[in-house]
Amino acid sequence: MSRFFSDKFASLTPYTPGEQPKERQYVKLNTNESPFAPSVSVLEAVQKECGKLQLYSDPECVALRRELAAVYGVTPQQVIVTNGSDEILNFAFMAFADAKHPLAFADITYGFYPVFAQLNGIPYEEIPLKEDFSMDPSDYIGIGKTVVIANPNAPTGMAMPLTDIERILQSNPDNVVIVDEAYVDFGGESAVSLVDRYENLLVTQTFSKSRSMAGARLGFGIGNEKLIADLNTIRYSTNPYNVNRMTEAAGVAALKDNAYYMENCRTIMANRAYTTEALLAMNFEVLPSVTNFIFAKSSELDGEYLYRTLKDMGILVRHFTKPRIRDYIRITIGTKDQMDVLLDAFREIRKENSK
Ligand code: PMP
């Protein structure tokens, strides 16, 4: 730390992204990316936009917001687009949480929530998940705080029913409830259908997972017009050109090819079922996932050992050191071939260890 670093960040622990190694070609199952390439029209749209890089992007992202509104059945005024959904989460924390409206989120959830809370000096409460890693909605009923729920949750992959989300919204009318739906397209139930009924609901989603655009950085939020206007106040006070030209064009093209992406999601869901079944047969415990990853624990081998051994074998998965989950590994669901490489590796590791 330099002697110039502001005191207000002295104790900030930044987020640790998953590894993006360059030294070796891994079977990469560690950051929940899509194994499928973007559609051809996305590539063409990006190419076309490259020739206009001398011009700023549209700060209103009119074309993209219009397309999102049509796909999600809302108005463009109910939509904001951001540089990944990480950015909208940060904006939402800035806009809707403070000492009077502290944050509440699960103890096992997306690691960026406590970081954004600390960055913005917002007090937060971490509410333990139940023993089975599900969220207890009654912990959030009438809590009187700005609630953040990853639904489905990460890294567990488990979802909370929409009826419970609705009860949380109803019982906290003076606080915003942020529902982070980064993984909703893999079998979850979206709360977008509730935005016209609850003025305190903000839903966030991303193009990083189901739409194969993690590297383009595109997220979005849907809520009532006034919430979106507040988020735009924050956006115009930080970076009005937060979504670049190529990314906006890619987003529009991806939405026009929605059928391709939703078909890919169905393939991932089938590969998830296949992998889960095979892992259960190898004495793994696998949490019930509605995402493009699974959270699994071997009854024979510890999480850290599995992570390291798989890495040596050229397969990357994610391991977390938090005591409650350190026996688990998080495995991104890839193509069937990738899952077969992983399952064969597990068979080999088990064979070695049974000698
Ligand atoms: N929410 C959750 C729960 C996530 O796991 C992620 C991915 N790391 C994000 C939000 C942010 O993803 P992105 O910024 O790529 O949209």
Q: Which helix (H) or strand (E) holds 150?
A: strand 146-150
Q: Round to whole Å and give the CA distance between 330 and 272.
A: 12
CA angle 324, 182, 36 (to 5 degrees): 105
| Coil, strand or helix at 130 | coil
- Give me ligand 1 centre to Cα 244, in Å: 19
Ligand 1 atom showing the smallest separation from residue 89 Cα = 10
In the structure encoding, which two tokens stand for residue 253, read together? 């093209």
Distances (CA, A) of 29 to 18, 32, 34, 82, 181: 10, 7, 9, 25, 20
Ligand 1 atom showing the smallest separation from residue 180 Cα = 1
> Is the C-beta atom of 84 inside 6 A of ligand 1?
yes
> Is the C-beta atom of 208 inside 6 A of ligand 1?
yes
- Give me ligand 1 centre to Cα 59, in Å: 23
- Give me ligand 1 centre to Cα 93, in Å: 15
What is the set of domains in the chain, with CATH numbers? 7-36+259-347 (3.90.1150.10), 40-257 (3.40.640.10)
- Give me ligand 1 centre to Cα 174, in Å: 26
Per-residue pLDDT of the chain (355 residues; tens, 9 = 90+): 999 999 999 999 999 998 888 888 999 999 999 999 999 999 999 999 999 999 999 999 999 999 999 999 999 999 999 999 999 999 999 999 999 999 999 999 999 999 999 999 999 999 999 999 999 999 999 999 999 999 999 999 999 999 999 999 999 999 999 999 999 999 999 999 999 999 999 999 999 999 999 999 999 999 999 999 999 999 999 999 999 999 999 999 999 999 999 999 999 999 999 999 999 999 999 999 999 999 999 999 999 999 999 999 999 999 999 999 999 999 999 999 999 999 999 999 999 998 7
- Give me ligand 1 centre to Cα 281, in Å: 31
CA atoms within 13 A on the CB side of 165: 30
In the structure encoding, which two tokens stand for residue 148, read together? 């953040």
> Is the C-beta atom of 156 inside 6 A of ligand 1?
no
> Is the C-beta atom of 33 inside 6 A of ligand 1?
no
Cα 30 to chain centroid distance, Å, stands at: 13
> Is the C-beta atom of 181 inside 6 A of ligand 1?
no
Tell if the pTM clears 0.95, that is, is over it: yes
